[in-house]
Amino acid sequence: MNLSGKARIAGIFGWPIAHSRSPRLHGFWLDRYGVDGAYIPLAVRPEAFATAFRALPALGFRGVNITVPHKEAALANCDTVDAQARRIGAVNTVVVDDAGKLCGSNTDAFGFIENLRQASDWHAAAGPAVVLGAGGAARAIVVALLDAGAPEVRIANRTRARADAFVSEFGTKTTAEDWDDRADALSDATLLVNTTTLGMQGHDPLDLDLSRLPNAAVVNDIVYTPLQTPLLKDAAARGNTTVDGLGMLLYQAQPGFEKWFGVRPEVDAALRRFVLDDLK
Ligand code: ATR
C-alpha cells in the first residue's frame, strides 16, 4: 500500500473488529484495481460510536461499513437512510456525500439476492421461500426476498415470538411456523435459507429432515465456516442446487467499494480463494 496525500479513505466500525474479513476483502480489491486508497478496521466501543461516527466527514472519510454491534446506532446517527435499510432496521454501509452528510444503506439484502442469482437459476417469483431463524441476518433476508418479489416467506424460529414479530412487521406475505414444524414448512418451497448459527463451527448441528423439500428448490446456508455445512451436503446429495454463504459476504461489499473508490469491483474465483485462505 502506497498512499498519496489524496488517498481515499474508508473503513469498518465494529467492536470487536479483529474477526472481520472486510479489510482483507477490500484490500484485495484496492490492490487489484490500483486504487490510491485504504480500508481500515476501526475498533470503536459502543459508548464512543456516535462521536467517532459523526467525525467521519471532518476526517475526510469517503464512508464506512458498519458491523456488530453498531448497525442500529448507525441508522440512528445517519443524516439520511434509504427505505430498505429502514425496513431492515440496520445500516451496514455509509457514504459521506459531497456536502458532508452521512448517507446510510444496507447492502446485505443486495448481497444475499445477488449471490443467489449468480450461483443458481433461482428467481423470487417462482414460489414460497422458507427462512430458518429470526435474528438480524434474517431481517435483511426477509426484506430482500419480499422486495425481490417472493410471493410467500415462511419463517421458522426456535423462539416463536420473534417469528410472529416479523409477521406483524412485514405483513401478509410472511407466515410464522413453529420450530418443531420446520420440516413440514418445506413442502412446495422453491428456496430454503438457514440464517441461524446452527451448523457453524463450534455450534450445534442443524437438525432438519429435507424429505418434503422439492428437488428443484435451491438451498442456501449463510453460515460459511465451514463452507460446506451439513445442510448443504445433505441438500446436494438429494439433488438440490446449493449456494454457500461466502458469496453474500463478498457481494454485500460491492456497492460500498464502488461508491467510495469509484470502481465497480468484481466478485470472482480469485477473490473467493483469497478470502477463503484466511478462513482456514
Ligand atoms: P444474527 O443477528 O446473526 O442473525 P441472532 O440475532 O443471535 O444472530 O440470531 C441467531 C438465530 O439463530 C436466531 O434465530 C436463533 O433463534 P432464537 O431467536 O430462538 O434465539 C437461532 N438459534 C441459535 N441457536 C439455536 C438453536 N440451538 N436452535 C435453534 N435456533 C437457534
Q: Are residues 137 and 227 in the same domain?
A: yes
Residue 1 has pLDDT above 80, yes or no: no
Q: What average pLDDT score do residues 1-22 get?
A: 95
Q: Are residues 153 and 235 in the same domain?
A: yes
Residue 2 has pLDDT above 90, yes or no: no
Instruction: Please work out, in degrees rounded to the nearest 5, the angle formed at the alpha carbon of residue 65 by the alpha carbons of 61 and 66.
Output: 120
Q: What average pLDDT score do residues 19-26 get?
A: 96
Residue 9 forms beta bridges with which residues?
38
Annotated catalytic residue within 6, 71, 173, 280 = 71
Q: What average pLDDT score do residues 174-201 get?
A: 98
The continuous run of DSSP H or E covering 1 comes out as none
Residue 87 has pLDDT above 80, yes or no: yes
Q: What is the b/e burial string over 249-265, where b = at least 16 CB atoms within 10 angstroms of the residue's CB? A: bbbbbbbbbebbbeeeb
CA of 214 to the centre of ligand 1 (A): 25
d(CA 4, CA 149): 45
Residue 189: name the closest of 160, 155, 161 by CA.
155
Give every CB contact of residue 13 below 8 A, 6+ residues apart in sequence: 42, 44, 49, 52, 53, 64, 65, 66, 67, 70, 74
Residue 203 has pLDDT above 80, yes or no: yes
Residue 280 has pLDDT above 90, yes or no: no
Which pLDDT belongs to residue 19?
A: 92
Looking at the domain assignment, is residue 126 inside a domain? yes
Q: Are residues 140 and 103 in the same domain?
A: no
Q: What average pLDDT score do residues 212-217 get?
A: 98
Interhelix angle 269-279/246-261, nearest 10 degrees? 110
CB 239 within 8 Å of CB 216? no
d(CA 17, CA 223): 19
Q: What average pLDDT score do residues 3-18 get?
A: 97
Indicate the SS3 state at residue 57.
helix
> Positive or negative CA dihedral for 163, 252, 147, 235?
negative
Q: Are residues 79 and 179 in the same domain?
A: no
CB 114 within 8 Å of CB 143? no
Residue 99 has pLDDT above 80, yes or no: yes
Looking at the domain assignment, is residue 64 inside a domain? yes
Residue 45 has pLDDT above 80, yes or no: yes
Residue nearest to atom 9 of ligand 1 (CA): 135
> For residue 162, which atom of ligand 1 is closest to its CA?
18
Q: Copy the grid coordinates of residue 182.
A: 420446520
Looking at the domain assignment, is residue 73 inside a domain? yes
Q: What is the CATH number of the domain that holds 119?
A: 3.40.50.720
Residue nearest to atom 26 of ligand 1 (CA): 198
Lowest pLDDT segment from 204-213, 221-230, 255-264, 271-280: 271-280
pLDDT-based confidence at residue 234 (cuts at 50, 70, 90): very high
**For 106, what's the count of Cα atoms within 13 Å in the CB-facing half-sphere?**
28
Q: What average pLDDT score do residues 9-19 get?
A: 97
Q: What is the CATH number of the domain that holds 37?
A: 3.40.50.10860
End-to-end alpha carbon distance in the chain: 25
Q: Are residues 27 and 99 in the same domain?
A: yes
Q: For residue range 117-165, list pLDDT tens digits in order.
A: 999 999 999 999 999 999 999 999 999 999 999 999 999 999 999 999 9
Which pLDDT belongs to residue 162?
A: 98
Q: Are residues 82 and 159 in the same domain?
A: no
Ligand 1 binding pocket mutation candidate from 71, 157, 177 (most atoms within 8 A of CB): 157
Residue nearest to atom 29 of ligand 1 (CA): 158
Looking at the domain assignment, is residue 3 inside a domain? no
Q: Are residues 263 and 211 in the same domain?
A: no
Indicate the SS3 state at residue 5.
coil
Counted domains in the chain = 2
d(CA 19, CA 169): 32
Residue 189 has pLDDT above 80, yes or no: yes
Cell 434474517 maps to which residue? Answer: 138
Looking at the domain assignment, is residue 163 inside a domain? yes
The pTM (predicted TM-score) of the whole model is: 0.96
Q: Are residues 83 and 127 in the same domain?
A: no
pLDDT-based confidence at residue 84 (cuts at 50, 70, 90): very high
Looking at the domain assignment, is residue 1 inside a domain? no
Looking at the domain assignment, is residue 242 inside a domain? yes
Looking at the domain assignment, is residue 204 inside a domain? yes
Sequence-ordered strand ranges (E) for 109-214: 129-132, 153-157, 174-178, 191-194
Domain holding 77, by residue range, is 8-107+253-277
Q: Are residues 233 and 118 in the same domain?
A: yes
Which pLDDT belongs to residue 110?
A: 98
Ligand 1 binding pocket (C-beta < 6 A) is: 133-138, 157-159, 162, 195-198, 204
d(CA 42, CA 78): 18
| Cα 198 versus chain centre, distance | 17
List phi, psi (to 5°) of 194: -95, 115
**Mean pLDDT, the chain, whole residue set:** 97
> For residue 136, which atom of ligand 1 is closest to its CA?
2
Q: Are residues 127 and 97 in the same domain?
A: no
Which pLDDT belongs to residue 103?
A: 98
> Positive or negative CA dihedral for 65, 276, 15, 156?
positive
CA of 203 to the centre of ligand 1 (A): 11
Q: Are residues 98 and 114 in the same domain?
A: no
Q: For residue range 244-262, list pLDDT tens digits in order.
A: 999 999 999 999 999 999 9
Q: Is 6 a catalytic residue?
A: no
pLDDT-based confidence at residue 174 (cuts at 50, 70, 90): very high
CB 90 within 8 Å of CB 72? yes
> For residue 138, which atom of ligand 1 is closest to its CA?
4
Residue 18 has pLDDT above 90, yes or no: yes
Q: What average pLDDT score do residues 68-87 get?
A: 98
Cell 456516535 maps to which residue? Answer: 50
Q: Are residues 19 and 93 in the same domain?
A: yes
Residue nearest to atom 12 of ligand 1 (CA): 196
